[in-house]
A and B are shown apart, each in its own frame.
Chain A
Amino acid sequence: METKMALNYQGKSQKRSAVEKSINAFLIVYLFILLTKAAVCTTLKYVWQSTPYNDEPWYNQKTQKERESLKVLKMFTDFLSFMVLFNFIIPVSMYVTVEMQKFLGSFFISWDKDFYDEEINEGALVNTSDLNEELGQVDYVFTDKTGTLTENSMEFIECCIDGHKYKGVTQETDGLSQTDGPLPYFDKADKVTFSVYGFTFVGIRNGYMRVENQRKEIEEYELLHTLNFDSVRRRMSVIVKTQSGDILLFCKGADSAVFPRVQNHEIELTKAHVERNAMDGYRTLCVAFKEIAPDDYERINRQLIEAKLALQDREEKLEKVFDDVETNMNLIGATAVEDKLQDQAAETIEALHAAGLKVWVLTGDKMETAKSTCYACRLFQTSTELLELTTKTIEESERKEDRLHELLTEYRKKLLREFPKSTRSLKKAWTEHQEYGLIIDGSTLSLILNSSQDSSSNNYKSIFVQICMKCTAVLCCRMAPLQKAQIVRMVKNLKGSPITLSIGDGANDVSMILESHVGIGIKGKEGRQAARNSDYSVPKFKHLKKLLLAHGHLYYVRIAHLVQYFFYKNLCFILPQFLYQFFCGFSQQPLYDAAYLTMYNICFTSLPILAYSLLEQHINIDTLTADPRLYMKISGNAMLQLGPFLYWTFLAAFEGTVFFFGTYFLFQTSSLEENAKVYGNWTFGTIVFTVLVFTVTLKLALDTRFWTWINHFVIWGSLAFYVFFSFFWGGIIWPFLKQQRMYFVFAQMLSSVSTWLAIFLLIFISLFPEILLIVLKNVRRRSARRNLSCKKASDSLSTRPSVRPLLLRTFSDESNIL
């Protein structure tokens, strides 16, 4: 439990998507409708029954038991029976369909060939299917740098030893015969270094490190102790015994961790080197060593073993010993390795920006390194104005907090001036206004977040948050893993609770991945912890673009449509039933046959929407990836807001009313058949139901933009199944049924021409608004396109004054053309 992972582990909470929250809100609305309907019906029933001949006419008397039961009890049971009658308005089957959609839908990500990476022979991996649609809702992207934006394959560039720079020159310094630690990451960097200098690290055998030197001789060093790397110390050390018996300690680590612990005087030179290298975007590493006298070593050894064996506070004790040991070292030098940007990382970040996402880079690297990487991957443009909140700008002084305060308020003023108070067009504003980038480092961040407990700390935090929200890009460097999570949590709890996405590859990103709404792991070279703890894992950073812009968008649209459609079709279904109560004395008489009631959601209308929600591509995937601005259209859960919800609800109410009253007026006549025979209440219900099934299915067909054979099969198949089932259900006297009420109702119904006409008419009326909308949209789009082309065409002409003599104009036009 004391591995690095465990220490940075934060406990996983159940991740819920925003869509699920909307579903719950809708459910409450519908539950309310249900209760209202039941209450209205119960009330009206008792109002209606207050006239005795309505309550109990001579032709329809109550049983003795009914007469004797208590009135309050009766009202209660009436209320409950209305609830039962109307309960189909709550789309229970939606949950099943949504789960199936999510489960089956997640296969599309793992099947996507674009996510296949040949280097590791793997495609994308989906660990949770619950969050597919969340990919279409992301507001903030938090990305790690090393291994995520960059390749994490180290290329040695140069090193400097004792202040001298070496670049690919074979030069040997004894001290460089350095180290290996359990951390493969640094190991690699060092290995590269060695091979350039002619030293090859061979491996560890029996506790001896074997290093092959230039002369192909193998030097052995006995590995005595490894002082492990951790992200707080940012360095690691080994204690080795050379063949000659000297005990040496080698330490490597980040410059800030190493410099204060060395006694050399040449620090300045090396420091300059390191700075310059960092500016170029190289990763730098400092190496120092120290000779330990044998008796000193005895003491250290004892302390180390003691600390390692300690049962309590082992961490602290070890740390203390490490701290003691790693002092007064001699600086050897520094290395610089280059970490190349990943393929298309810049394009991806640009696309994400265009899609209205805010990209934050959280890294453990030096500020300079990180900054240049950010420039390289176009997170910061040259026009971006940078606001820096780092130890450098704040300066090491007593007045740290005051200075911080000053800076914060200054930045805020600047930003507020730029952006008018209203946030309505924030996204638009990005393209028009000066872009701002913020750089902050770990120590400053902790100063802001955990500064002394007075009232100003809260203040800092809120100012900081305000600044962050106004910046297009934020770079956080020198971050400890837990700080990454802290930042994510801070953003997550912002007003409006934006959806956050974290992407990272290493164990140090795990807590961030777990903290954010959607965690994406990269199957990188730092092991698989990130990929294993993530919700989705992809081989490369560039895949994020398609994952969000295409898959996320589609998933969101699909599931949003699915949810709305389910509520819609159930309201359509139940509304005629509700209206019928007004005509049957509020007696809970069902309009439809019991078989239809149960089969409606299960068989007649479930498969088309499932197929739709799996296969629909309202916009082509290529278009979606090519035009990131489309992503903005669905941001903020746009399709499940009040507006679309009301639209669907009213559509359903309209259609339900049409179904019922259309049939009602149809039944005003004496007979619908040419042989003058009359229909009963079950025929009434069956007509309504037939119109209903056809309308909701055709409505889905109208919405479908992407037809595959599966869509065709399920849509027409469902309708055919409905017809077939109805014939079958009415074609036999069912021996196990007490009532044969549906016997031949359907067939008899279809023998009437009027019924056919009415069914076609009602379906058409119900779909009329929808058709009209589609036509209008088409016209508008076409005219917009025309306008656009007109504008383009006339742009060249518009500069000319339009009121000129005709002759002159034609003349000049010609001359223009010429």
Chain B
Amino acid sequence: IDYTGTDPSSPCNKCLSPNETPCVCTINFTLEQSFEGNVFMYYGLSNFYQNHRRYVKSRDDSQLNGDPSALLNPSKECEPYRRNEDKPIAPCGAIANSMFNDTLELFLVGNESDPTPIILKKKGIAWWTDKNVKFRNPPGGDIPLEERFKGTTKPVNWVKPVYMLDSDQDNNGFINEDFIVWMRTAALPTFRKLYRLIERTNDLHPTLPAGRYYLNITYNYPVHSFDGRKRMILSTISWMGGKNPFLGIAYIAIGSISFLLGVVLLVINHKYRNSSNTADITI
């Protein structure tokens, strides 16, 4: 579902003007079929060059790994997002600075007056190794996170500092999973990132029954300036990942070509054997 709002009829169109903050818009949609099993909610951006060289290297992995010296003295690669007003930025760099900050909420419209909110799970969207090894908060045991990040300032574009990303201590600071997902730079300029999980709660009911829904968006993230697009994608996953027509088509195509060639060669082979057989007979 595209909610960029470039189309004037879109409810999010009003959010394109910069003076409307905070801007909340709502998009209605209908699911024709119910979603069985776990459903995954992605946000997708296009024309966003997360793979630009200047962008990719603009991070400090030792800072993100909780190194105290790197926290206060981030790597030079982070320029021009290294220091702000003489204070080191944590987390530094262009990637962190441009973190996706729209909030998406999903509601099922059961009966007109009382829409049911769908429970969206925040945790379990990042790689396990990233969450537990590669990204670490600065050391400090029981000291509150705010203390541990003392001496640093928030990235320029952020509203809140890094230690206020979430109320849950296991999902705050550098180990916030939204943040970790964002920090894994995408390979192509059009990409999707996992936003939330919708877990199946009851075996009897489908996770998302067919019906009308609406998506509540707190619109913060500007993409219009670079001709980008924002989308929300709901998807189920099979044992081999998301729906991928490429692999299927390619396998079928190659398989049939090979089969065809095999048949042709078999025929040729057979024909030649025949001719040689007849030659044998005439002798």
Task: Name A's B-contacting residues (CB within 8 A).
Answer: 53-54, 57-64, 583-585, 587-590, 662, 664-681, 683-685, 733, 737-741, 743-744, 748, 752-754, 757-758, 761, 764-765, 768, 772, 775, 779, 782-783, 786, 789-790, 793-794, 797, 813
Whether the pair B51, A674 counts as a contact (CB closer than 8 A) is no
Whether the pair A59, B55 counts as a contact (CB closer than 8 A) is yes
Measured in the bound complex, the distance between the Cα atoms of B57 and A673 in whole Å is 26
Whether the pair A59, B98 counts as a contact (CB closer than 8 A) is yes
Whether the pair A743, B48 counts as a contact (CB closer than 8 A) is no
Question: A681-B51, A740-B134 are known contacts; what are 16 more A-B pairs with Cβ within 8 Å?
Answer: A59-B55, A587-B52, A673-B237, A676-B197, A676-B235, A681-B185, A685-B187, A733-B133, A743-B129, A761-B247, A761-B251, A779-B268, A782-B272, A783-B272, A793-B279, A793-B280
Q: Is B75 an interface residue (CB 8 A)?
A: yes
| A740 contacts across to B, CB distance below 8 A | 61, 65, 134
Whether the pair A779, B134 counts as a contact (CB closer than 8 A) is no
Whether the pair B53, A587 counts as a contact (CB closer than 8 A) is yes
Contact of A670 among B235, B240, B250 (CB under 8 A): B235
| A674 contacts across to B, CB distance below 8 A | 237-241
Measured in the bound complex, the distance between the Cα atoms of B238 and A673 in whole Å is 9
| A676 contacts across to B, CB distance below 8 A | 38, 40, 125, 194, 197, 235, 237, 241-242
Contact of B80 among A61, A590, A758 (CB under 8 A): A61
Whether the pair A669, B246 counts as a contact (CB closer than 8 A) is yes
Question: Who on chain B is nearest to A668 by CB?
Answer: B246
Whether the pair A666, B244 counts as a contact (CB closer than 8 A) is yes
Task: Name B's A-contacting residues (CB within 8 A).
Answer: 38, 40, 42, 48-62, 65, 75, 77, 79-81, 94, 97-98, 124-127, 129-130, 133-134, 157, 181, 184-189, 191-194, 197, 222, 225-227, 233, 235, 237-244, 246-247, 250-251, 254, 258, 261, 265, 268-269, 272-273, 275-276, 279-280, 282-283
Measured in the bound complex, the distance between the Cα atoms of B194 and A783 in whole Å is 58
Number of cross-chain contacts by CB at 8 Å: 218
Most central of A62, A589, A672, A813 by chain B CB within 10 Å: A589
Whether the pair B246, A794 counts as a contact (CB closer than 8 A) is no
Q: What are 16 residue pairs bridging A and B, where the CB atoms are less than 8 Å apart in the complex?
A: A53-B226, A58-B226, A59-B94, A59-B97, A587-B51, A587-B55, A588-B53, A589-B51, A665-B246, A669-B242, A671-B241, A676-B197, A678-B181, A680-B185, A738-B75, A779-B269
| B188 contacts across to A, CB distance below 8 A | 583, 664, 667, 681, 684
| A737 contacts across to B, CB distance below 8 A | 61
Measured in the bound complex, the distance between the Cα atoms of B244 and A753 in whole Å is 12
Using A53-B225, A740-B65 as known contacts, say yes or no to A669 and B244 having CB atoms under 8 A apart: yes
Whether the pair A757, B240 counts as a contact (CB closer than 8 A) is yes
Most central of A675, A678, A752 by chain B CB within 10 Å: A678
| B94 contacts across to A, CB distance below 8 A | 59-61
Using A733-B134, A764-B254 as known contacts, say yes or no to A584 and B51 having CB atoms under 8 A apart: yes
Measured in the bound complex, the distance between the Cα atoms of B48 and A58 in whole Å is 11
Measured in the bound complex, the distance between the Cα atoms of B258 and A764 in whole Å is 11
7 tightest A-B contacts by CB? A59-B98, A684-B187, A53-B226, A587-B53, A665-B246, A589-B53, A681-B187
| A765 contacts across to B, CB distance below 8 A | 250, 254
Whether the pair B241, A669 counts as a contact (CB closer than 8 A) is yes
Whether the pair B265, A779 counts as a contact (CB closer than 8 A) is yes
| B54 contacts across to A, CB distance below 8 A | 60, 62, 587
- Shortest CB-to-CB span from B163 to chain A, Å, is 22
- Shortest CB-to-CB span from A40 to chain B, Å, is 17
Measured in the bound complex, the distance between the Cα atoms of B227 and A702 in whole Å is 48
Whether the pair B276, A789 counts as a contact (CB closer than 8 A) is yes
Whether the pair A790, B275 counts as a contact (CB closer than 8 A) is yes
Question: Who on chain B is nearest to A748 by CB?
Answer: B127
Whether the pair B283, A758 counts as a contact (CB closer than 8 A) is no
Question: Who on chain A is nearest to B190 by CB?
Answer: A668
Whether the pair B40, A671 counts as a contact (CB closer than 8 A) is yes
Most central of B51, B233, B241 by chain A CB within 10 Å: B241
Question: Who on chain B is nearest to A590 by CB?
Answer: B53
Whether the pair A743, B134 counts as a contact (CB closer than 8 A) is yes
Contact of B192 among A583, A678, A797 (CB under 8 A): A678
Measured in the bound complex, the distance between the Cα atoms of B179 and A676 in whole Å is 17
- Shortest CB-to-CB span from A75 to chain B, Å, is 16
Measured in the bound complex, the distance between the Cα atoms of B188 and A583 in whole Å is 6
Whether the pair B185, A670 counts as a contact (CB closer than 8 A) is no
Whether the pair B53, A680 counts as a contact (CB closer than 8 A) is no
| B181 contacts across to A, CB distance below 8 A | 678
Using A60-B54, A671-B242, A743-B133 as known contacts, say yes or no to A681 and B254 having CB atoms under 8 A apart: no
Whether the pair B240, A589 counts as a contact (CB closer than 8 A) is no
| A782 contacts across to B, CB distance below 8 A | 269, 272
| A752 contacts across to B, CB distance below 8 A | 240-241
Whether the pair A585, B49 counts as a contact (CB closer than 8 A) is yes
Whether the pair B187, A672 counts as a contact (CB closer than 8 A) is no
Whether the pair B194, A677 counts as a contact (CB closer than 8 A) is yes
Measured in the bound complex, the distance between the Cα atoms of B67 and A740 in whole Å is 13
Measured in the bound complex, the distance between the Cα atoms of B233 and A159 in whole Å is 109
Whether the pair B251, A772 counts as a contact (CB closer than 8 A) is no
Question: Who on chain A is nearest to B80 by CB?
Answer: A63
| A790 contacts across to B, CB distance below 8 A | 275-276, 279
Whether the pair A761, B276 counts as a contact (CB closer than 8 A) is no
Measured in the bound complex, the distance between the Cα atoms of B246 and A69 in whole Å is 44
| A748 contacts across to B, CB distance below 8 A | 127, 129
Measured in the bound complex, the distance between the Cα atoms of B240 and A62 in whole Å is 40
Contact of B279 among A57, A667, A739, A794 (CB under 8 A): A794
Question: Who on chain B is nearest to A730 by CB?
Answer: B129
| A672 contacts across to B, CB distance below 8 A | 240-242, 244
| B225 contacts across to A, CB distance below 8 A | 53, 57-58
- Shortest CB-to-CB span from A336 to chain B, Å, is 59
Most central of B57, B79, B181, B279 by chain A CB within 10 Å: B279
| A775 contacts across to B, CB distance below 8 A | 261, 265
| A768 contacts across to B, CB distance below 8 A | 254, 258
| B98 contacts across to A, CB distance below 8 A | 58-60
| A786 contacts across to B, CB distance below 8 A | 272-273, 275-276
Whether the pair A678, B194 counts as a contact (CB closer than 8 A) is yes
- Shortest CB-to-CB span from A62 to chain B, Å, is 7
| A678 contacts across to B, CB distance below 8 A | 42, 181, 184, 186, 191-194
| B125 contacts across to A, CB distance below 8 A | 676-677
Whether the pair B53, A58 counts as a contact (CB closer than 8 A) is no
Question: Who on chain B is nearest to A786 by CB?
Answer: B276
Measured in the bound complex, the distance between the Cα atoms of B240 and A667 in whole Å is 13
Whether the pair A739, B61 counts as a contact (CB closer than 8 A) is yes
Whether the pair B55, A60 counts as a contact (CB closer than 8 A) is yes
Measured in the bound complex, the distance between the Cα atoms of B90 and A236 in whole Å is 99
Measured in the bound complex, the distance between the Cα atoms of B60 and A672 in whole Å is 27
- Shortest CB-to-CB span from A198 to chain B, Å, is 72
Whether the pair B80, A62 counts as a contact (CB closer than 8 A) is yes
Using A54-B226, A779-B269 as known contacts, say yes or no to A670 and B233 having CB atoms under 8 A apart: yes
| B254 contacts across to A, CB distance below 8 A | 761, 764-765, 768
Measured in the bound complex, the distance between the Cα atoms of B40 and A83 in whole Å is 42
| B191 contacts across to A, CB distance below 8 A | 678
- Shortest CB-to-CB span from A267 to chain B, Å, is 71
Measured in the bound complex, the distance between the Cα atoms of B131 and A743 in whole Å is 12
Measured in the bound complex, the distance between the Cα atoms of B243 and A754 in whole Å is 10
| B62 contacts across to A, CB distance below 8 A | 738
Whether the pair A733, B65 counts as a contact (CB closer than 8 A) is yes
Question: Who on chain B is nearest to A662 by CB?
Answer: B250
Measured in the bound complex, the distance between the Cα atoms of B54 and A63 in whole Å is 10
| A793 contacts across to B, CB distance below 8 A | 279-280, 282-283
| B258 contacts across to A, CB distance below 8 A | 768
Measured in the bound complex, the distance between the Cα atoms of B272 and A782 in whole Å is 9
Whether the pair A680, B282 counts as a contact (CB closer than 8 A) is no
- Shortest CB-to-CB span from A816 to chain B, Å, is 10
Measured in the bound complex, the distance between the Cα atoms of B192 and A668 in whole Å is 9
Whether the pair A57, B233 counts as a contact (CB closer than 8 A) is no
Measured in the bound complex, the distance between the Cα atoms of B56 and A509 in whole Å is 67
Question: Who on chain A is nearest to B227 by CB?
Answer: A53
Using A671-B241, A680-B186 as known contacts, say yes or no to A60 and B49 having CB atoms under 8 A apart: yes
